[in-house]
Amino acid sequence: MEPQETESRPKLPAELNLDDGNHGGSKSYWWVWLLIFAAIGYGCYRLYLRETTKSQQTAAKREMMRKPQNLPVVASTAISGNLPVYLRALGTVTAFNTVTVKPQVDGPLDQVLFHEGQFVHKGDLLAEIDPRPFQVALQQAEGNLAKDEAVLKDAQAIYARDQELYNAQIIAKQQLDTQAATQSQARASIAVDQAAINNAKLQLSYTRIIAPISGRIGLRQVDAGNIVHASDPNGIAIITQLQPISVLFSIPQDQLPAVLAKLRQGAKLRVEAYNQDESVKLATGTLLTVDNQIDATTGTSKLKAIFDNTDNKLFPNQFVNIKLWLNTERNVTIVPAVAIQRGPTGTFVYLIQNDNTVTVRPVKVGLTEGNDVSIDDGLKPGDSVVVDGAEKLTDGMKVNARPARPENLKRRSQG
């Protein structure tokens, strides 16, 4: 009889459950399955909520797209104000007077007494020429005068003696007449000598070169020590009068009658000078005169304005923009020029009504000045018009209007 082998392999859990007849272990895993089913159910619920929310958002967007939106625009209010009427032109600043300082006598330039760019006054000493030759000439003329005065005195004495001799019938009448003529010649010589003295004094005074006008002196053309001549073309320096100063500008011949009419009425027409982009007003002056003829080549007439220029903002040969005041339209309806639209039927604006809808309003445009226009018909003060965003508008469209910048409205109200 073979001995029985002892089973040594380990038992599996299932085998343990079956062999032992104890089923309590399988009941301990039911909660695991419960958690799995709960997680699956929660995930399905979250997915359902997400899809539902997405559908609702899509529907809301579609609804918003179907619903018309108010178009954003910029609006400005028509105001009642004064609108100045200007003629515009490009002008050139010119010195009121320009003088080339030249020597009037020849000689060595002893000294130059001015600084380049200095403001000089009429009568200021600018330079000196060596005066010694002219002083000698003056002394010579004075010596000739003294000699001729002595000759005259002697001639007068001889004439007096001859007169007594003639009265005594000692000498002939011819001798007395000859002595009278000699006396007259001496007087004439004295007159010539006096003229020579005056001329010598004048030539001597020319050695002191004096400023003939007040103004700003330019660059020095000659240094001290050089021989200068009255015939030198360049002179010593150039003085330019800056106060007052003038501006030359031209206007079309069609605008000339209005200017002349104002001048005939005695009006002082205001002229304003601006820099190149008209952002800074440089000076204010008055119209001085109008040229006596029209340029046949350009069809324009030249005008000349005068400015005090006390602050020296205007400089010769400077280009400036000119605004010549003609008139001021008072109590007119003013809107920004950008509000004016043009179509097949004429000019119009988009008028914003109380319900934020726009309507096309035909208008009659009057004067234009800068960024503003006057409205002769179609608007009244207080009306709100579109100034930006009009290219997307149609009649009856809803808008969301925001006001234009206040500084623009302030500028227009002060026009």
CA dihedral 115, 116, 117, 122 (to 10 degrees): 60
Residues 324, 289, 296, 320: is their CA dihedral positive or negative?
negative
Pairwise CA distance, residues 111 & 219, whole Å: 15
For residue 104, pLDDT over 90 is answered with yes
Q: Mean pLDDT across the chain, nearest whole number? A: 87
Tell me yes or no: is domain 99-238 CATH 3.40.50.150: no
**Per-residue model confidence as pLDDT tens digits over 44-98:** 777 777 777 766 666 656 655 555 578 899 999 999 999 998 999 999 999 999 9
Residue 19: pLDDT band (50, 70, 90) is very low
pLDDT tens digit sequence for 206-227: 999 999 999 999 999 999 999 9
Looking at residue 66, what is its pLDDT? 57
pLDDT in tens, 294-323: 999 999 999 999 999 999 999 999 999 999
Domain chopping of the chain, boundaries:
73-83+330-413, 86-96+240-329, 99-238
| CATH 2.40.10.10 is right for the domain spanning 73-83+330-413 | no
Domain spanning 86-96+240-329 has what CATH number? 2.40.30.170
> Do the strands 237-240 and 215-217 form a parallel or antiparallel pair, or are they unpaired?
antiparallel
pLDDT at 213: 96
Share of the chain above pLDDT 90, in %: 67
Specify the long-range contacts of residues 34-39, CB closer than 8 Å, at least 24 apart: none
Q: Is the pLDDT of residue 326 over 80?
A: yes
Task: For residue 26, give every residue at least 6 positions away whose Cβ sits within 8 Å of its Cβ, in sequence order, or none.
Answer: 17
Virtual torsion, Cα 282, 287, 289, 294, nearest 10 deg: 80
Confidence grade of residue 371 (pLDDT, cut at 50, 70, 90):
confident
Tens digit of each residue's pLDDT (9 = 90 or more) over 254-268? 999 999 999 999 999
pLDDT of amino acid 367: 87
What pLDDT sits at residue 207?
97
State the pLDDT at residue 258.
Answer: 93
**Topology match between the domains 86-96+240-329 and 99-238:** no
Q: Radius of gyration (Cα) for the chain, nearest Å?
A: 53
The greatest distance separating any two alpha carbons of the chain, rounded to the nearest whole angstrom, comes to 226
Arithmetic mean of pLDDT, 225-248: 95
Tokens 């997680």 belong to residue? 39
Kindly report, residue by residue over 150-179, the tens digit of the pLDDT: 999 999 998 888 888 888 888 888 888 888
